[in-house]
A and B are shown apart, each in its own frame.
Chain A
Amino acid sequence: MNDQYFYTCVILLAIGTYSIRFSFVGFSKKISLNDKFKKILSYIPAAVLPAMITPMVFFHKGEVAFLAGKERFVALVFASVLCFFWRNMLVSLASGLGLLYFLTQM
């Protein structure tokens, strides 16, 4: 791809992505947040992360029939249950990656 095309895309992408990130942060002095708004903000991880998790598990490598990727589904459920009780990142990673390795390699 030629330089002019590449750098035009990159600079416009940089402006676009940075504007999104800077939006609320940039005007945080002018925005007064009431308690209800803050309460809504506390739901953001619950609203965004599950939407990112499920496609990575159900549609791994484009397998639309999600049962084809059942090893990942099983490993995720197992790790989630352990993580629910332990509340520990390392427990979740070790159990999930370990079980997936076991299911796919053994």
Chain B
Amino acid sequence: MHPFVRGMIAMCPILLGVIPFGLVMGAACSTQNLSLVELLSFNLLVFAGASQFVALELMSQKAAIVVVVLSGVVINLRMLLYSAGISPLLKKASFFKRMLAAYGITDQAYAVLMANESKLKSTEVSLGFYAGAAFAMAACWQIVVVLGYVFGNFAPASLNLDFAIPLSFVALVLPSMKSRSYYLVGLCSAFFSVLLHGLPYSLGLLFSAFIALALAVVFVMKKGLENE
């Protein structure tokens, strides 16, 4: 099977959790009286779920532009790590392909790539797989946001579909845990995220991720390249 199709298929179950968030995003844009053109430009140009929620909320309060932009950007800073993570796949890619690949970076696309890494035999296959996963994610998000804008949030609340997001993240993070040091990094990340949850603008997430990554750096520097 073509790696692009494999990537799209691997993404499908994860999209279950994306649907309710997209619907809520679309419904929120409609509540703020955005026109369809404004909705599309906001979603296609920024394309950053959590950042968009915060930016929309701040814009509705007429917050200073610098506050809106900085909060939106800070929430998305973790993408810096994903950009570094996929960069080895793109060493030989054209400028245009790299621009597209960068646009497609999301938590889900990156995580699904890493979770399937061991099954992807070459850089070309990995890149095709990533492209399929990223395309499925982007297409689903844009369609669902428009549906939410037009019809409101119609996902039945009793099904708790938003809970599919943490569930899919668990299923994506487990295959990347190759030894005890990965579990320690994961626990560190979870612990600080609960501890720092009160910080504004998702700064707790950002700090937890970087503290956990610092621990990973210590492990790699101390233990070298063997797995334990």
Contact = CB atoms under 8 A, between A and B. Distances in A.
B65 A49 contact: no
A84 B214 CA distance: 25
Contacts of B208: 51
A47 B107 CA distance: 12
Given A44-B213, A45-B172, A55-B193, A97 B161 contact: yes
A46 B212 contact: yes
Contacts of A41: 81, 84-85, 88
Grouping DSSP codes into helix (H, G, I), strand (E, B) and loop, the B interface class, with mixed when no group exceeds half, is helix
A84 B171 CA distance: 8
Q: Which interface residue of A33, A49, A87 has the most chain B CB atoms within 10 A? A: A49
A5 B83 contact: no
Interface residues of A, number: 71
A85 B210 CA distance: 29
Nearest to A23: B83
Interface residues of B, number: 97
Given A20-B80, A51-B189, A93 B168 contact: yes
A67 to B, nearest CB: 13
Contacts of B103: 18, 21
Contacts of B205: 51-52, 55
B165 A49 contact: no
Interface string A1-45: 100011111111110111011111111110101011011111111
A97 B164 CA distance: 7
B189 A47 contact: yes
Contacts of A10: 38, 41-42, 45-46
A24 B72 CA distance: 20
- Nearest first, the 3 closest Cβ-Cβ pairs linking A and B are A43-B216, A14-B45, A51-B193
Interface of A: 1, 5-14, 16-18, 20-29, 31, 33, 35-36, 38-59, 66, 72, 75-76, 79-80, 83-84, 87-93, 96-97, 100-101, 104-105
Given A28-B93, A45-B176, 19 more contacts: A5-B59, A7-B41, A13-B72, A16-B72, A17-B79, A18-B102, A23-B83, A25-B101, A38-B88, A41-B81, A43-B220, A46-B183, A51-B205, A80-B174, A83-B174, A84-B174, A89-B171, A92-B167, A97-B161
